[in-house]
Amino acid sequence: MVARQLLEPKIVSSNIGIHPIFTLIAMYTGFKLTGVLGLFIGPIIFIILKNIFKTMIENGIVKSILD
């Protein structure tokens, strides 16, 4: 069980392309907010937010807001 808890974030993160600690944080936050379903929804929401912010930065929207 301990090995699974240590390896699961690493395996999930390598499949979805985000750092293991962020995967673990997203899974924990999702679990605390919505229960077992949150273990799956948390990382998905994190990936969506990551892509939104990445797109905003690439398009210069963040720079225009800060100016």
* Cα dist from 25 to 15, 21, 28, 47, 50, whole Å: 16, 6, 5, 12, 14
Split the chain (67 residues) into runs of 10 and give each run's mean pLDDT.
71 74 88 90 90 84 71
Backbone torsion region of residue 19, taken as left when φ is above 0, otherwise alpha when ψ lies between -120 and 50, otherwise beta: beta
pLDDT given for residue 23 in this prediction: 82
Domain ranges of the chain: 2-66
> Using CA atoms, how far apart are residues 22 and 29, in angstroms rounded to an integer?
10
> Using CA atoms, how far apart are residues 18 and 16, in angstroms rounded to an integer?
6
pLDDT given for residue 48 in this prediction: 93
pLDDT given for residue 62 in this prediction: 67
